[in-house]
Amino acid sequence: MEIIGYIASILIGVLLGLIGGGGSILTVPVLVYLFDVLPVTATAYSLFIVGTTSIVGSITYFKKGLVNIKTAVVFGIPSIFAVFLTRKYILPAIPDSLFTLAEFEVTKDIFLMILFAVLMVVAAYTMLKGKKSDTKPDAEPQKFNYPMILLEGSFVGVLTGLVGAGGGFLIIPALVLFSKLPMKEAVGTSLVIIAAKSLIGFTGELGNASLDWTFLITLTSLSIVGIFIGSYLTKFINSDKLKPAFGVFVLLMGIYILFKEIWF
């Protein structure tokens, strides 16, 4: 299972390189089900892996001028604060046993995995729905809907802090709708936001848990290798056709996690 896990770590990077996001949604399931890492620790590891790989993934967008720094700052600040506070204070405050329902005990770990599964289903829906915003004219002047950006940024930050996923499928539509960014620029900007909030959120975990740095750096390195493979494969594979297929996979994975955590 560990060998499969290492291969899956490369796949996470490949997907990031191919479709500009989405691969991070697999990080926690890979850690929990293939490496037997506890869910709370897995979400911490995921923040580091997602943050580091997003930095590498954003380099290409920086070179092409597809990163809007002002938007990254405006959206990123509330998100960064939210994810840091969630990892540092909110997550440790959640009791190990939440409640019992018909002899089924809902623990902290089960709650996090169920929340993650729901997130996967929502992410799958976003991928399957497709992106109609590609036709948005690039010349449209940028306008900021500050209340919605602050609200969305904070919400994504809390969600990232709880489940360790980057939340690109939430950030990108928000940047298009509330910041009026073209789609490609929204993807590049989202990677910068994801990198910043994930890595800063990870620092909130440093005093709360003992981390296996050798293991963590190994998986991160494999994921980075996957990014370069994925970037190369974009010359031969249409990412728009790949995303719906990946969406179906994420949907099935989310349903599997729900059944596993609730009924098994």
User: Could you read off the pLDDT of 218-256 as tens digits, one per residue?
Assistant: 999 999 998 888 878 877 877 677 778 888 888 898 898
Q: Say what the pTM is.
A: 0.81
Phi-psi label, residue 114: left if phi above 0, alpha if psi -120 to 50, beta otherwise: alpha
- Sequence letter at residue 256: Y
Taking the C-alpha atoms of residue 105 and residue 129, their distance in angstroms, rounded to an integer, is 35
Q: What is the mean pLDDT of the chain?
A: 83
So what's the pLDDT on residue 133?
Answer: 45
Residue 82 predicted with pLDDT over 50 = yes
Compute the C-alpha angle 65/71/77, nearest 5°: 130
Tell the residue number behind the tokens 């997550």, with chain if given. 91
**Closest of 16, 261, 8 to residue 117, by C-alpha:** 261
Residue 28 predicted with pLDDT over 80 = yes
Question: How far does the chain reach from its first CA to its final CA, in angstroms?
Answer: 20
Cβ atoms of residues 203 and 84 within 8 Å = yes
What would the pLDDT profile of 31-72 be if each residue is shown by its tens digit? 999 999 998 888 889 889 988 988 888 888 888 888 999 889
Token reading at 2: 């560990």
Burial class (CB in 10 A: 0-12, 13-18, 19+), 26: buried
